[in-house]
């Protein structure tokens, strides 16, 4: 028995070697010996490149278009999330005019910090809430009898007639209701920039006053299929969540003309969201619409 011991040990070692070789051929990883040192551990991953550990550098504001006009009246500084359509709406202008005034070829390429002109180049920005109207010249008085001298009579002072309590000064536009449905949500400058009117899908949506369509599409988030009408240099009106649009941009429309069909695009129910904007600022439509 003592003579067979070396043979038994040799056979055992040979068997273990064959198992190890066969396990490697079958794709099993060899055992990893950990002696308590770093020699048996995998090396740590390499550090990330320096460019990935710091945010991308912002462009120098002084290199952006229009930087020299930042903060001036009649100019707007682009903020994150802005679109040319929204900028035009908030400025009370046709977005195409804003693009032309700023020589923007691709309206989808706006840079945060870019400064845009939002009033016509040949106009002076009007102060909010101030409307300048021409004053009538004095009335000349012709010769009386043989007196050939011309005299000038002072213009009569006429007290302006007060506007109805429910209708604000709309510069003679005479806004009408775009739909006769019930009001489901009133004006709130922070939460609802107009009024919501209920109705049925497909109901006609009417132009509230004469004007020109400056936008017809679905490019403004939260408004769905939207029509914007510019009535004059002061007033815009907006009609949102439509099912179908029946007018096109640059089309002249008349008060009471059907411009869309009511729907629920980008809304949780069928409704018309209607806004009136004065110099780009949302105002309560109920102050400009006739009482019901």
Tens-place pLDDT, residues 99-151: 999 999 998 889 999 999 999 988 766 544 433 333 344 444 444 444 444 44
What is the percentage of the chain residues whose pLDDT exceeds 90? 55
Looking at 82-194, which runs of residues are DSSP E strands? 115-117, 139-141, 151-153, 183-185
Domains of the chain, each with CATH number or no CATH? 61-117 (3.10.350.10), 183-287 (2.70.70.10)
Pairing label, strands 258-262, 252-253: unpaired
pLDDT in tens, 255-292: 999 999 999 999 999 999 999 999 999 999 999 999 98
Predicted confidence (pLDDT) at residue 89 exceeds the cutoff of 80: yes
pLDDT for 123 equals 72
Q: Is 232 in contact with 214 (CB distance < 8 Å)?
A: no
Average pLDDT for residues 85-112, to the nearest whole number?
92
Helix, coil or strand: residue 285: helix
Q: How many other C-beta atoms are found inside a 10 Å radius of the C-beta of residue 196? A: 20
Q: How many other C-beta atoms are found inside a 10 Å radius of the C-beta of residue 199? A: 19
pLDDT for 171 equals 87
Q: Is the CA virtual torsion 99, 105, 108, 112 positive or negative?
A: negative
pTM for this entry: 0.65
Average pLDDT for residues 155-168, to the nearest whole number?
47
pLDDT for 16 equals 52
Q: Is 171 in contact with 232 (CB distance < 8 Å)?
A: yes
Predicted confidence (pLDDT) at residue 37 exceeds the cutoff of 50: no
pLDDT for 262 equals 98
End-to-end CA distance of the chain: 118
Measured CA to CA, the distance from residue 75 to residue 115 in angstroms comes to 6
Pairing label, strands 115-117, 139-141: unpaired
């Amino acid at each position: 028995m003592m003579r067979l011991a070396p043979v038994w040990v040799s056979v055992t070692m040979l068997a273990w070697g064959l198992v190890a070789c066969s396990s490697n051929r079958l794709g099993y990883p060899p055992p990893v010996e950990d002696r308590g040192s770093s020699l048996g551990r995998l090396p740590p991953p390499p550090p990330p490149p320096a460019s990935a550990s710091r945010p991308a550098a912002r462009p120098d504001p002084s290199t952006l278009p229009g930087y020299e006009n930042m903060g001036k009246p009649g100019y707007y500084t682009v903020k994150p999330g802005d679109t040319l359509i929204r900028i035009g709406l908030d400025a009370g202008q046709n977005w195409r005019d804003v693009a032309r005034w700023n020589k923007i070829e691709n309206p989808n390429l706006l840079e945060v910090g870019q400064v845009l002109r939002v009033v016509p180049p040949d106009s002076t920005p009007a102060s909010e809430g101030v409307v300048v109207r021409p004053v009538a010249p004095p009335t000349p008085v012709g010769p009386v009898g043989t007196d050939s001298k011309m005299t000038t009579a002072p213009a009569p002072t006429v007290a302006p007639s007060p506007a109805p309590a429910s209708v604000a000064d709309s510069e003679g536009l005479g806004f009408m209701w775009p739909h006769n449905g019930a009001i489901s949500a009133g004006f709130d400058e922070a939460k609802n920039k107009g009024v919501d009117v209920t109705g049925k899908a497909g109901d006609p949506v009417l132009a509230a006053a004469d004007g020109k369509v400056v936008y017809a599409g679905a490019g403004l988030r939260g408004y769905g299929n939207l029509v914007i009408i510019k009535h004059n240099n002061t007033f815009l009106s907006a009609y949102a969540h439509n099912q179908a649009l029946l007018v096109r941009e640059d089309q002249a429309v008349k008060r009471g003309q059907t411009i869309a069909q009511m729907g629920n695009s980008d809304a949780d129910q069928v409704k018309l969201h209607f806004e009136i904007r004065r110099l780009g600022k949302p105002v309560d439509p109920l102050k400009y619409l006739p009482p019901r």
